[in-house]
Amino acid sequence: MDKTVPSGAAMLLAFIGSIEAPHGFDAVYGNNQAKLPKPLTSMTIDEVIAAGPRWTRAFGSSAAGFLQFMRATLLRLKKKLGLTGKELLDGPMQMALGYELLKERGFAEFMAGTKSRTAFGLGLAQEWASFPVLTSTVNGTGKAKRTLKRGQSYYAGDGLNKALVAPEKVEAMLDKLKASSARAGRACPGARGRRNP
């Protein structure tokens, strides 16, 4: 698997990680990493997947690493990317997996100007519970339907998650990404940059 992460994606992932897990790549949910027999970054993906149910019982969630990967997410990415599971969940692997999640949520489309900042922000909020929705939206259907206000976690009301960053900070980061991409495009002869109106 290619662990190369473009600079813009790396910048966004660093921002996400600073909100999700300010204690870094070895973090587990609730900052319980000191209770692990060895650092998370020295564990294989399969070891982390196997420990997930135990961590959920002990800590309240299987979320692990700088980007707080859920067990189900690791299982899905392992299969999708053809990983053996013997790979270490070290920093470069966590960033590469995070980049895959960004791509699934429309990173390339956002950077190309075909997905709005608000729509991409919703994707980020759906992936990372500490991130807020950038406009009022609805989560769920039927009796489970909830109307969310700008600034709330997409998972608000589940008793576990809340937004930990203001929507203005997310918007500023996304604007910074677009601006740096536009500057890079101008610096490369023949490159075309397109901005949202």
84: Cα within 13 Å, side-chain hemisphere: 4
Residue range 79-102, pLDDT digits in tens:
999 999 999 999 999 999 999 999
Label each residue of the chain as H, E or C. CCCCCCHHHHHHHHHHHHHHCCCCCCCEHHHCHHHCCCCHHHCEHHHHHHHHHHHHHHHCCCCECCCCECHHHHHHHHHHHCCCCCCECCHHHHHHHHHHHHHHCCHHHHHHCCCCHHHHHHHHHHHCCCCECCCCEEECCHHHCEEECCCCECCCCCCCCCCCCCHHHHHHHHHHHHHHHHHHHHHCCCCCCCCCC
Q: Among residues of the chain, what percentage have pLDDT more than 70? A: 92
Cα 38 from Cα 140, distance rounded (Å): 38
Cα 98 from Cα 181, distance rounded (Å): 19
Cα 93 from Cα 16, distance rounded (Å): 16
Cα 54 from Cα 188, distance rounded (Å): 50
Q: Please determine, for residue 189, whether its predicted confidence score (pLDDT) is greater than 90.
A: no
Residue range 133-184, pLDDT digits in tens:
999 998 877 777 889 999 999 998 887 789 999 999 999 999 999 998 777 6
Q: Please determine, for residue 193, whether its predicted confidence score (pLDDT) is greater than 50.
A: no
Residue range 54-80, pLDDT digits in tens:
999 999 999 999 999 999 999 999 999
64 beta partners = 28, 69
Identify the pLDDT of residue 185. 61
Q: What is the mean pLDDT of the segment spanning 6-20?
A: 96
Q: Please determine, for residue 194, whether its predicted confidence score (pLDDT) is greater than 70.
A: no
Do the beta carbons of residue 83 and residue 1 sit within 8 Å?
yes
